[in-house]
Chains A and B, each alone.
Chain A
Amino acid sequence: MEPLKIVSSRTVVVPLANVDTDQIIPARFLTTTTKDGLGQRLFADWRYLPDGSPNPDFILNQPSARGCQVLVAGRNFGCGSSREHAPWALVDYGIRAVISTEIADIFRSNALKNGLLPVMVDETTAAWLIEHPGAEVTIDLDRATLTLPTGVPVSFPIEAFARHCLLNGVNELGYLQSNLAAIERYEASLPAGA
């Protein structure tokens, strides 16, 4: 994976709370056996009308959303299923960071493995971002800060090892494999039949 240090972009805002993974990518598109092209299906049931044409009311179809790499969402973004197709779809579309007050556990873990930054912020920061769609923000992964146009950097929590892997382009699988001797010792210690 390419190292990731800074995401700097205007925001696109989906203010709803509890945006579940079935909205991010509906189940009928999970019959794919690759990760390719899922960006076209991102938010499919909100983004397209029943005849397949773009829904002009949905934010991603508005000119202001073009080129935005940062999605601001209501609380509990990414709840529901474990489908990694959700971050794959967001990344394929061009989103590099999701900002919310709460991000669901499995989605957050999946996002980190795909270079999509889950940025959890306090209520005040989130409220400001929701009220100011299109704001220019900068996310500095090394410092774990989000900087708003108002200038004050806000720090956000991020798991230390995931941050290290993203900053340095380290593959987590390689790290797991480097623990092979410990894994073998553990297996040898298991009771028979356990």
Chain B
Amino acid sequence: MTASTLFDKVWKAHEVVPETAATPAVLYIDLHLVHEVTSPQAFSVLRSLKLPVRRLDRTLATMDHSTPTTTDQVFGNVPIKVDAAARQVRQLEHNAAEFGVELFGMRDARRGIVHVISPELGASRPGMTIVCGDSHTSTHGAFGALAFGIGSTEVGHVLATQCLLQRKPKSFAVNVEGRLPPGVTAKDLILAIIGKVGVSGGTGHVFEYRGSTIRGLSMDERMTVCNMSIEAGARAGMVAPDEVTFAYLQGRPRAPQGTRWEESLARWKALVSDPGANFDGSVDIDASALEPMITYGTNPGMVVPISGAIPRSSGDAILDKALGYMGFKGGDAMLGKPVNTVFIGSCTNGRLEDLEAAASVLRGRKVASGVHLLIVPGSQAVKRDAEAAGFAEVFRAAGADWRESGCSMCLGMNGDTVAAGQYSVSTSNRNFEGRQGVGARTLLASPLTAAASAVRGRIADPREFL
């Protein structure tokens, strides 16, 4: 028997019809996550063809992108301020009711960012195929699932048939060894990986994150790493499930229980790449040599160690345009650059451990005058946990703005935006032009770096706060 990768095994187990030269594989989808932005057009197709949702038990909807984060708009009587967003929220409520899809609506205690709630429910599990009309679906690969983003037409395909037509991507090993130094987080690791592989280096591939460093990461940290696989162009990122995964899942509401748990565990333990399995590509990373990382440009691959300098342009049109947009000069140090807004949250860094990290820096300190620090939990469950753990109190005492859950300032479509020309240190995943608002200038970093920069009012090295 030939040695298989983890990805090979999960793919093979979901082939309803294998691919041929003429036709792609018909791939079965175990879990379909649905949100308000990319689903309306898909439900319209089902309606026009008079088709039902094939597997309601494998479909879960929530609202996160367009939803406001102020308590008065979510739980009070204040209407959603962005009219189009309000219509989109109502449309999902309508579609879920019409088709019978389970929806965690606006005031549901289980609502949150789609990539935060499914893991915390125990709905994202090893060996599954998971899709959503959202490129950060790669997050769920942290559980050893094959999880990837799809377009709205494909959302319709999965709603109607629970399957997708797919060509099998290639495999790519991301080998990470060594201990992450203090103050260097999973976010810094994935930014360093993207910096090394490039923003299209993973195109056509599924990453498997491997090595002792990855084994030593918590589930929250693995999710941060897998979340940004797409920023290197990879379709998905996976981590083989292990005791850390199993301990996280056991007892969660939708995880198997009793004898089903034991049966599942036996299956999950086989979900590793066999010794000698062949990968189509690979990269090696020494985690012990990493520093906190921060982006200076307009894609996540434009990244430097925080003590580093912005690269000097040598007639590179891409770099020149990026630096022009950012208002930066080649050769300048990143430390000490001005900051107007700090955003801590998103499907990348909106989980409890991220908020704990932010609280560790903010405890007993104040946000610098003139800086707006917005902290948005990834889900209502994370919000409750952060309040119970005392983090929310730390945030409020520091002068931060503490909100209801949602995608918030990661993308400017819900009322939370960064003003034109302003600098935003953000724990989110994309520093594209205008991502956080028209003309907004985004610097991606870890929650530690974001919190440290909020306190200093300038780009700061979080290691000075440890």
Contact = CB atoms under 8 A, between A and B. Distances in A.
Interface of A: 15-18, 20, 22-23, 26-28, 30-35, 45, 50, 74-76, 79-84, 87, 102, 104-106, 109-110, 113-114, 159-161, 164, 172-173, 175-177, 179-180, 182-183, 186-187, 191-194
B299 interface: yes
A31 B321 CA distance: 29
A27 B411 contact: yes
Interface in B109-156: 127, 133-135, 137, 149-154, 156
Contacts of B434: 22-23, 26, 45
Contacts of B260: 192-193
Given A81-B135, A183-B16, A34 B44 contact: yes
A17 B200 CA distance: 10
A23 B321 CA distance: 14
Contact of A159 (B30, B154, B167, B435): B167
Given A18-B318, A30-B413, A191-B267, A176 B26 contact: yes
B17 to A, nearest CB: 5
Contact of A193 (B16, B161, B263): B263
A141 B351 CA distance: 47
Contacts of B85: 31
A84 B263 CA distance: 39
A105 B22 contact: no
Given A106-B149, A173-B160, 19 more contacts: A18-B200, A22-B430, A22-B435, A23-B432, A23-B434, A45-B434, A79-B233, A82-B137, A82-B149, A84-B38, A106-B150, A113-B154, A161-B165, A164-B22, A172-B165, A176-B160, A176-B161, A186-B16, A194-B30
B203 interface: yes
Contacts of A194: 30, 127, 264, 267
A103 B430 CA distance: 18
Contacts of B87: 31, 33
Given A84-B153, A106-B149, A33 B16 contact: no
B135 A82 contact: yes
Given A20-B299, A31-B85, A105-B235, A84 B152 contact: yes
- For the complex, would chain A's binding face be called helix, strand, loop or mixed by DSSP majority? loop
B413 A27 contact: yes
B163 A22 contact: no
B277 interface: no
Nearest to B234: A105
Contact of A79 (B26, B127, B200): B200
A22 B433 contact: yes
B203 A17 contact: no
A84 B41 contact: yes
* 6 closest residue pairs by CB, A with B: A31-B84, A33-B40, A82-B149, A110-B151, A84-B151, A76-B200
Given A17-B318, A82-B134, A45 B438 contact: yes
A104 B233 contact: yes
A161 B23 contact: yes
A56 B162 CA distance: 47
A27 B256 contact: no
Given A27-B435, A45-B433, A104-B203, A34 B41 contact: yes
Select the residue from B30, B38, B66 with max chain A CB neighbours within 10 A: B38
A93 B122 CA distance: 43
Given A22-B432, A31-B88, A75 B151 contact: no
A28 to B, nearest CB: 5
Contacts of A84: 38, 41, 133, 151-153
A82 B204 CA distance: 15
B289 interface: no
Contacts of A159: 24, 167
Contact of A172 (B44, B82, B157): B157
